[in-house]
Amino acid sequence: MTTPVALTIAGSDSSGGAGIQADLKTFAALGVYGASAITALTAQNTRGVTGIHAVPAEFVTAQIDAVFSDLEVGAVKIGMVAQPASIDAIAAALSRWAPRHIVLDPVMVATSGDRLLASEAVEALRRKLMPLASVITPNLPEAAALLDEAVAASEAEIESQGRRLLALGCRAVLIKGGHGAGAESTDYLLDSEKTINFAAPRITTRNTHGTGCSLSSAVAAGLARGEDLEGAVRNAKAWISAAIAAADRFSVGHGHGPIHHFHKFY
């Protein structure tokens, strides 16, 4: 029996709630072996980000090459990429190794509101990483930022932005509705043929640190296990909803606390 493996290429969160740490927790919770290539170190906690130290691009390449040269990677999740040089390195490495599934989470702003992606890197992300992606997973503000537009305020506007994101070269778009309003949080999965809505009750909690990172990682975990994209998204949505619902079992930090990745186990 082959062990499913997923690789996360992202930044480290020193407080453990988001980034690489959230990705590896997600993979483990969903029965997938996790590997990592770290693009940046952040000094971060539940209240905010106080520092970012980018990893040199050539060392990002070295990490990716080390993983692919030895492990059978079933899916890749890309999170915080920090700078244009890192984006170039990631795009070149993934073009060489050609993994079957790439989930791109265009992380621009932390839950606390701190900016995580330099403005000059946004265009590089659009041109170099989006065309490689099996699916991109922006939230509503990120989808708008990728298109230089206002945040979508209706289902029709969300679908319209999703279609324009598809035109930038990715094979599918999952626009996350967590920043929306209403009793339900609805995510929208679009590909060239259809749009599928995934709704779940909106959960009232301030413990949402790492939600976006964890959802994209859960999708990557499903793809690594051999699920199709719709199934991977459906299962990831159910899992993340349960992890948010269980977040208040934790008392971690004084700001936006983490979700409960291992809610099934304790």
Q: Whose CA is closest to 80, among 115, 56, 50?
A: 115
Q: Is 3 a catalytic residue?
A: no
Q: Is 34 a catalytic residue?
A: no
The active-site residue, picked from 210, 222, 237, 257, is: 210
Sheet holding 102-104, edge to edge: 48-54, 33-45, 5-13, 75-78, 102-104, 135-136, 173-175, 184-190, 195-201
Q: At what angle do helices 155-166 and 140-147 cross, to 10 degrees?
A: 50
Q: Is 176 a catalytic residue?
A: yes
The active-site residue, picked from 17, 34, 212, 222, is: 212
The active-site residue, picked from 8, 213, 222, 237, is: 213
Q: Is 212 a catalytic residue?
A: yes
The active-site residue, picked from 77, 128, 176, 237, is: 176
Q: CA angle, 137 as apex, 85 and 254 as ends, to 5°?
A: 85
Q: Is 42 a catalytic residue?
A: no
The active-site residue, picked from 211, 222, 237, 257, is: 211
The active-site residue, picked from 39, 42, 137, 208, is: 208
- Give the list of residues 6+ apart from residue 179 with CB closer than 8 angstroms, or none: 139, 140, 141, 151
Token pair recorded at residue 111: 């839950």
- Residue positions annotated with a catalytic role: 176, 208, 210-213
